[in-house]
Chains A and B, each alone.
Chain A
Amino acid sequence: MTRTAPTTFERRRRRSDSVAVAMIKIWAFTAIVILIVIIGYIVFKGMVSQSLQESQIIPTFSTPDQSLVVIANKKSGFHSMPYDVLRQFFDGRSFSLRRITHVNEDVKLFYETGLKSDISEYLMLDEKSFQRSEASQLSASEVLKHVSANPGGIGLISKETALPSNVVKLQLEDVVLAVHPSVTELLGNIKLSKIDQQAIKPLFNGEYTNWKELQGQDLSIVVVTSLSEVRQIPGSVALVPYREAFLAQSERLQVLSSQTRRNFTLRYIFEKPVEMGKYGGISTIIGNTLLMVFVTLLFSVPLGVGSAVFMVEFRANKRLLSIARTGVDLLAGVPSIIFGLFGLLVFVQLAGWSFSLLSGSMTLALMVLPTIIRTSEEALLSVSPSLKEASVALGATKWETIIKVLLPAASPGIVTGIILAIGRAVGETAALIYTIGSGVDFASGPLSSARVLAMHIFLTITEGQRMDRAFASAMVLVFLVLFINILARLSARRLIRNGTN
């Protein structure tokens, strides 16, 4: 057939064809894009945390000519030292870092000999404060040594020197925004009390002229430079050292700032949870997850593989076979919340096992049963009949054939199915929420309440704990699922390789 030049019709057809094909390709790769976005986001938020903070002390602002140098152990989690926090510690009012840097340690305070009077004056303390806070007076080099040795160590020295590698110098932030009382007055349900950190520079540059623009009253902004002016001029604001403002009992505005920090650390996996998971790590929770998987498999694998063997080997009774198969199909379609409902009523209440590892695992075992049965059945069916015939020819009974020949031959497929079931179990929440309980300790027996990883993420979100922790745990769960996924793929590959032998 001779080739002629393409007609317009031809060209149009080919163009619409390539457009259609291009559309298909674009749509198809959206799946990959979605996956990357989801996993990428979880990992990003797991590694990096952004938190909002509100305080009187303005971050990054310090008065000049400070006589004290603040140093701290890196493990304490401080990146700067606000005046009010330092005072809290040295006044003996607070000992734990938990609420402040979310590190589960207590502070240990040290200061250089000769600085006591400076500290008392600067931080407005008296002798009782020093006794309460148990701060230790040492030589400068000793201070360095002790701060380095204590994860919660904080020290005050007189001048900057070379520091050990795990100790940092912190900027001592001690400036506040003092305002005239008219600015923070309650008028018609409105009362200005805070300002965004980003708004401070524009405020002092004159870009804002009225407090209304900052969610306050209709009042002109007057930028001044001293505390005495602030006290006299309505609408005025100044940057003032905290001490001055505090002593004069001047009105102050809170500052809202956001901080970006490292979120997930390897410690997280190995530390135990503290205060029901509010602080600390997730070591016992991971342990509970593994335990739950083990118990679930303990019940579901023998039952599942046994059912599959039956359905494959004893097919004589056709009716029974089809009933069994319908049963499996039905079970596979039941939503997880129904399993949860069933588990709550039967295992938790009726059997009296309460919220426990056993209740949760039994519920999950029922849920993953169809998966195991189906994959095992497929694996068993794919074993070549000649293998079975050879075994029978050698005089083995049915049972022996099953145990010594069939199961080993089908094991890669069965194992793949088990791995898939593990993946499902690890990610389940709805069926476990009212069966497995929420105790954070490592389960001491099958009847103790055991929080697992997916549940922990759910509880972290709903209990209003910091979202950073939810993301860190989520990152761990995602990696766990990825790992299980890779295992399953390797196992399936081994199956194919064995099959071709």
Chain B
Amino acid sequence: MKKVILAVMILTILSPLGAAGSRETVAQTPVEIYTFGGSSTVAPIVNGALTSFLADHKDVKITYETLGSSTGIKQLQEGTLSLAGSSRELKSSELQAGLKPIVIALDGLSVAVNRNVPIANLSMAELAGIFSGEIVNWKSVGGPDAKIEVIVRDETSGTYASFKEIVLDPTKKQYKKDAIVARENGELATKIAATPNAIGYIGMAFNHIVEEAGGHILTIDQVVPTSDNVVNKSYPISRSLYMVSIGDLQPSIELDFINYLLSSRGQAIVAENDFIPLP
């Protein structure tokens, strides 16, 4: 019995050594395994698209790992992933390294507050003030006398970077240091809903998580965050969502998937998930 175990163990050790790299076929099974990953904002779109894409491609297995935009881009360069999702623009160093971003959808960033905050609207200036730490009490913006609890994403997040670019950079402000850090859109939404006096930003598609948990979404400069308002540019905080590849894509599963995302079926999935299809 123990000899059988020993033999099996030796076989198992030897088999994966022959399958270096995630693209090669695993010994004795015909399924090819691919790994994509990156932004948690892009995740619902990719996962939704994968469900129908893989139904037509039975010989392939693709997973999307939610790691954060920056992590996804890094792992793309490391070769661990073959496609990365990003909710921020690529830095110049990343572009120089040969990475190519492909826009797959538009997205707005909503600002949400906990349900004990009676505020329903903020101006861009007030927003910048709050997130940079210049405004620390809700009474400065018309609310009750309470300390504002700011919740942000961690540095690897594209949402973190996009928000900074759109809201803080124009006034040359920096994020305040003592903000609560959440690692994903969903965690941020839950933290906003669970922390009294909290304010935070999330991708528009995650609005329902906040609302289901009892928080509410603000209007910015009195404009409601909706798809239409993002497309007609009246809602000020919006951005593009990307899939990133190394260099131009050759005919491959990755190219097929990107084309699927950009097709009308793919864009319908974008809309289903409360994102904004490309005009």
A residues near B (Cβ < 8 Å) are 51-54, 99, 186, 188-194, 215-216, 256, 275-276, 295, 298-299, 302, 348-349, 351-356, 358, 403, 407, 434, 437-439, 441, 444-449, 459, 461-467
B16 touches A447 (CB 8 A): yes
Structural contact, B214 and A445, CB atoms closer than 8 A: no
User: Contacts A444-B31, A446-B26, A463-B40: A189 and B143 contacting too (C-beta < 8 A)?
Assistant: yes
- Contacting chain A: which of B96-104, B115-123, B253-261? B115-123
Contacts of A438 in B (CB 8 A): 63, 65-66
Instruction: List chain B residues, Cβ under 8 A from A189.
Output: 119-122, 126, 141-143
Q: Which residues of A contact B81 (CB under 8 A)?
A: 354
Q: Is B186 an interface residue (CB 8 A)?
A: yes
Of B84-92, B162-170, B204-212, the stretch lying at the interface with chain A is B204-212
Is B69 on the interface with A (CB-CB < 8 A)? no
Stretch at the interface among B5-13, B227-235, B243-251: B5-13
Contact B212 A353 (CB under 8 A): no
Q: How far is the CA of A196 from the CA of B55 in the complex (A)?
A: 45
Say whether, besides A437-B35, A438-B63, A444-B31, A407 and B214 are in contact (CB < 8 Å): no
Whether A445 and B216, one on each chain, are in contact in the complex, defined by CB atoms closer than 8 angstroms, is: no
Mind listing 22 A-B residue pairs with CB under 8 Å?
A53-B212, A189-B121, A189-B142, A192-B118, A216-B118, A256-B214, A275-B47, A298-B8, A349-B80, A353-B16, A355-B37, A356-B22, A358-B16, A437-B63, A439-B65, A446-B15, A447-B16, A448-B33, A449-B63, A461-B190, A463-B184, A464-B187
A318–chain B nearest beta-carbon distance, Å: 29
Q: Verify if B147 is at the interface (C-beta below 8 Å from A).
A: no
Contact residue range for chain B? 35 or more
A445 and B20: CB pair below 8 A?
Answer: no
The CA-CA distance from A276 to B40 in the complex, in Å, is 12
Residues of A within 8 A of B31 (CB): 444-445
Which residues of B are found within 8 Å of A447, using beta-carbon distances? 16, 19, 22, 26, 33
CB closest chain-B residue, reference A191? B120
Knowing A349-B79, A355-B80, A464-B206 touch, does A299 contact B120 (C-beta < 8 A)?
A: no
Q: Which residues of B contact A99 (CB under 8 A)?
A: 208
With A348-B80, A352-B79, A358-B16 as known contacts, state yes or no: A464 contacts B65, CB within 8 Å: no
Which of the residues B13, B80, B186 comes within 8 Å of A463, measured between beta carbons? B186
Q: A52-B212, A275-B47, A464-B187 are in contact. Are A354 and B35 (CB under 8 A)?
A: yes
A444: which B residues are within 8 A, CB to CB?
Answer: 29, 31, 33, 61
With both beta carbons as reference points, the residue of chain A lying nearest to B141 in the complex is identified as: A189
Residues of B within 8 A of A449 (CB): 35, 63, 65
Q: Are A355 and B65 in contact (CB under 8 A)?
A: yes
Docked pose: A275 CA to B222 CA in angstroms: 34
6 A-B pairs closest in CB distance: A464-B186, A191-B120, A463-B186, A439-B63, A189-B142, A215-B118
B73 is an interface residue with CB less than 8 A from chain A: no
- Given contacts A276-B47, A437-B65, whether A461 and B187 have CB atoms under 8 Å apart is yes
Chain B contacts to A: CB under 8 angstroms: 2, 5-6, 8-9, 12-13, 15-16, 19-22, 26, 29, 31, 33, 35, 37, 40, 43, 47-48, 51, 61, 63, 65-67, 78-81, 115, 118-122, 126, 141-143, 182-190, 206, 208-209, 211-214, 216, 219, 222
Most buried by B among A256, A356, A441: A356
Cα(A52)–Cα(B119), bound, Å = 20
User: Could you say which of B2, B19, B219 contacts A407, with CB atoms under 8 Å apart?
Assistant: B2
Q: Return chain A residues, CB-CB under 8 Å to B190.
A: 461, 464, 467
Q: Is the CB of A445 within 8 A of B120?
A: no
B2→A403 contact, CB < 8 A? yes
* Other A-B pairs, 5, CB within 8 Å; known A54-B211, A189-B120, A464-B190: A189-B122, A275-B48, A441-B61, A441-B63, A464-B186
Q: How far is the CB of A51 from chain B (nearest CB, A)?
A: 7
Query: B222's closest neighbor in chain A, by CB?
Result: A186
